[in-house]
A and B are shown apart, each in its own frame.
Chain A
Amino acid sequence: MAGRKEPVTFELKMGELSAVITKQLGLTPNSGSLLQRAPEPELRDADFAQLLSDGDFLRAARLLAEPDLYVVNRIGGGSMAPEEVRLYRKKSEGEDVAAVAVAPDGTCTLQLYADYRDYLSWWADNFAGKNEETMANYIPPTVSLEQFLIILHAVDCYRRVTFTNMLNYVYANTVYITGAEFARTMAASLKSGDIRWLLPAFTAILPGFARFNINIVPEDVGVLLEHNFFINARRAEDGEDVMVFGEAGRNMGVEFYRSWLLSSGFEINVAGPDGFTAAENIFIAPTALANHFARLLPQEDGKVLVNHQAYTREQLELKLAEIFAKTA
């Protein structure tokens, strides 16, 4: 995305920001605003006169306090600690978007972007994969959320088995795992919240994940066999049934093992008559080969489907722009 306009940036403590917006400007944060959960406004002797005369700050403050659309963007996982940026838009204020990130020490960075495209451009430059060539998408365009979680764990398992083999000085041409080990480690992985692994990263980095009901049944594992993540086999030495990594499991496993460093999640929330509702939930895991893009599609029966695509950077940018434009 060429021609990005750099945002105007303001930095102050969260309590100060809350105080300026609620006490000085007299704005009442709505349920979409981060300020609803902000600490009690702190008033100190600092002089906010300069800020209060800055048109950009005043516009950003109004967006932040009274948005009609907000986006939660989490970034992290792999080898990056999680961060969160929230975007705020108010149609009556025009195309401008306010972005807010709060550091652990309470310092709040407030930025005013000319529109959401400029933010997406900044995000893509910093966190999207740069690949220009297409690659195989081993995951069908729609699978159930439960099947998707199982596939993510299969990808993790390749790395896990490879590490285990290395630690045990085992060199194996054929990499495999038992069904029991797969099930045991998946439960442990989900429980761990360890975002160095893809499955827990998905659950932690995707905003709104906790809202979805997950009901994994044994049949869901069938997706791994149907799409060549695993091939059923029997171990020669003891006759035990094992699952050997197939073309899809091996290729995705190697791809993530060697080149996955971080992921991003987006939740777009839109104001309606009954408050804010999530309109989109998106997870993106870039690697050296593809931007793995997962879009959650809630169904009327309460189940959730996942549309996964392996995008080039250009495809990813086009798709995100399309989704944001549609929602906005």
Chain B
Amino acid sequence: MHTPLSDEERRAILERLPRLDAEYNELARQLADLEESGEDGSGTGPLREQLADIAKEAAGLLRRYTDSLPERPLSRCPFSGQILSLVIDDRGLDGLWWNHHAPKRPPGRLPATFFALDGALKLEEKPEKAPFLCAPGPDVPFVLPRLLQFTQVRAVVSSLKIGPHTAYPIVYYADPMLYGEKRVNDWGTDRYWEEGNLLPGVFGPGEYISLTPDPEEYDFDLKPWIRRGKLLWIAPGDQRLVLHGHATGCPYLDLPGSRRLKYIQNGEVWEDDPEYETMDENDPAFDLEHFRRLVERYEKGEV
């Protein structure tokens, strides 16, 4: 049931949950130490009670948060015409919906033809501060040719506001459904749910898969894909979600902005730089000092 939160309530919940998380982790560490030192049950009892209280409060706050999220119709299947709705936090990137590693996302209404959800987001002002990693994609919409190579797969790009920012969900649909092929992580997260089975005999059907595409996989030149019928678009602000198959007048072509994946944490924004990924000691451009600094930041948990 959708029960909206006031700005103050939302802020209070989003501030309280990380504190509870830290408290919980600290108490859990203390409990582990006690248990390791051979403390019998009487000494750990109060700690266990505290942990249970924190877990209960956190679960209540999380439920309150997820119950507050609105269901937004934001795409349409190009095969059936059915509308796709997501229960999404569109008030800002500080919402737990956008937590890259531990997203809190109630189920939406997905057509049977839904295949994958990706997206892009352009920051229109300084991002909201949140302690978790947020990865909303590049500034401008794109497609993954790896997915569109399948005859039965088509994508739809649309637009909505996330707080002051402009977001571009890119939804892939398949008819007939394509099983056993790699998809892509759900927009902003490090995983997607695979209904089928990528490795029959190794894994059972139904599992989380992590698949972040290589930067070279992204294609930002949308016009050829529209011309081939592989990409359709919905005009920004169109409440009827009318699908368009023509390239003329498409508002998502040649948008200004960075084509690199961006990451946000504690208000800081940085981009995926493929050059750092392929540093080679024999490359004259290799900067050892920079590499060391990057490792240090990584070890401190800043990256």
Q: Which residues of A contact B (CB under 8 A)?
A: 133-142, 226-228, 246-248, 305, 307, 309-310, 312, 314-315, 318-319, 322
Chain B residues touching A, majority SS:
loop
Which among B77, B245, B247, B248 is the interface contact of A137 at CB below 8 angstroms? B245
How many chain B residues touch A (CB < 8 A): the figure is 24
How many angstroms from the CA of A322 to the CA of B175 in the assembled complex?
11
Is A315 a contact partner of B81 (Cβ separation < 8 A)? no
Is B176 a contact partner of A136 (Cβ separation < 8 A)? no
- Of the listed stretches B4-12, B26-34, B90-98, B221-229, chain A binds B221-229
Shortest C-beta distance, A140 to chain B (Å), equals: 5
Which among A140, A228, A322 is the interface contact of B243 at CB below 8 angstroms? A140
Is B151 a contact partner of A134 (Cβ separation < 8 A)? yes
21 A-B interface contacts by CB (under 8 A): A133-B228, A136-B229, A137-B232, A138-B245, A138-B246, A139-B245, A140-B81, A141-B76, A141-B78, A141-B79, A141-B81, A226-B242, A228-B246, A228-B249, A246-B246, A246-B248, A247-B246, A309-B79, A310-B229, A312-B151, A315-B151
Is A227 a contact partner of B151 (Cβ separation < 8 A)? no
Tell me, yes or no, whether B50 is within 8 Å of chain A by CB: no
| Cβ contacts under 8 Å, B230 to chain A | 134
| Cβ contacts under 8 Å, B245 to chain A | 136-140, 227, 248
Shortest C-beta distance, B77 to chain A (Å), equals: 7
Tell me, yes or no, whether B80 is within 8 Å of chain A by CB: yes
How many angstroms from the CA of A136 to the CA of B78 in the assembled complex?
11
Tell me, yes or no, whether B244 is within 8 Å of chain A by CB: yes
Tell me, yes or no, whether B152 is within 8 Å of chain A by CB: yes
How many angstroms from the CA of A246 to the CA of B245 in the assembled complex?
12
Taking CB atoms and an 8 Å cut-off, the chain B residues in 226-260 that contact chain A are: 226-230, 232, 242-249
Once A137-B229, A140-B81, A310-B229 are accepted as A-B contacts, the answer to whether A227 and B246 lie under 8 Å apart by CB is: yes
| Cβ contacts under 8 Å, A307 to chain B | 80-81
For the A-B complex with A141-B79, A141-B81 known, give 20 more contacts whose Cβ atoms are closer than 8 Å: A134-B229, A136-B226, A137-B78, A138-B245, A138-B246, A140-B81, A141-B76, A141-B78, A227-B245, A227-B246, A228-B248, A247-B247, A247-B248, A248-B245, A248-B246, A305-B81, A309-B79, A310-B229, A315-B151, A322-B176
Is A318 a contact partner of B176 (Cβ separation < 8 A)? yes
Q: Which residues of B contact A (CB under 8 A)?
A: 76-81, 151-152, 175-176, 226-230, 232, 242-249
| Cβ contacts under 8 Å, A141 to chain B | 76-81, 243
Is B151 a contact partner of A136 (Cβ separation < 8 A)? no
Shortest C-beta distance, B257 to chain A (Å), equals: 25
How many angstroms from the CA of A166 to the CA of B247 in the assembled complex?
29
How many angstroms from the CA of A253 to the CA of B9 in the assembled complex?
57
Is B248 a contact partner of A135 (Cβ separation < 8 A)? no
How many angstroms from the CA of A274 to the CA of B175 in the assembled complex?
34
| Cβ contacts under 8 Å, B80 to chain A | 141, 307
How many angstroms from the CA of A305 to the CA of B176 in the assembled complex?
21
How many angstroms from the CA of A228 to the CA of B77 in the assembled complex?
20
Is B248 a contact partner of A136 (Cβ separation < 8 A)? no
Smallest CB gap from A321: residue in B: B176
Is A136 a contact partner of B81 (Cβ separation < 8 A)? no
Shortest C-beta distance, B218 to chain A (Å), equals: 21
Smallest CB gap from A310: residue in B: B229
Is B242 a contact partner of A136 (Cβ separation < 8 A)? no
| Cβ contacts under 8 Å, A226 to chain B | 242
| Cβ contacts under 8 Å, A138 to chain B | 245-246
Smallest CB gap from A133: residue in B: B228
Shortest C-beta distance, B221 to chain A (Å), equals: 16
| Cβ contacts under 8 Å, B244 to chain A | 140, 227-228
Is B227 a contact partner of A315 (Cβ separation < 8 A)? no
Smallest CB gap from A138: residue in B: B245
| Cβ contacts under 8 Å, A228 to chain B | 244, 246, 248-249
| Cβ contacts under 8 Å, A136 to chain B | 226-229, 245-247
Give the residue among A137, A227, A314, A318 with the most B Cβ atoms within 10 A.
Answer: A137
How many angstroms from the CA of A310 to the CA of B244 in the assembled complex?
14
Smallest CB gap from B78: residue in A: A141
Once A133-B228, A134-B229, A135-B229 are accepted as A-B contacts, the answer to whether A140 and B77 lie under 8 Å apart by CB is: no
How many angstroms from the CA of A134 to the CA of B154 in the assembled complex?
10
Shortest C-beta distance, A305 to chain B (Å), equals: 8
Once A307-B81, A315-B151 are accepted as A-B contacts, the answer to whether A140 and B246 lie under 8 Å apart by CB is: no
How many angstroms from the CA of A319 to the CA of B80 in the assembled complex?
12
Smallest CB gap from A134: residue in B: B229
Once A141-B77, A246-B246, A248-B246 are accepted as A-B contacts, the answer to whether A315 and B152 lie under 8 Å apart by CB is: yes
Shortest C-beta distance, B84 to chain A (Å), equals: 13
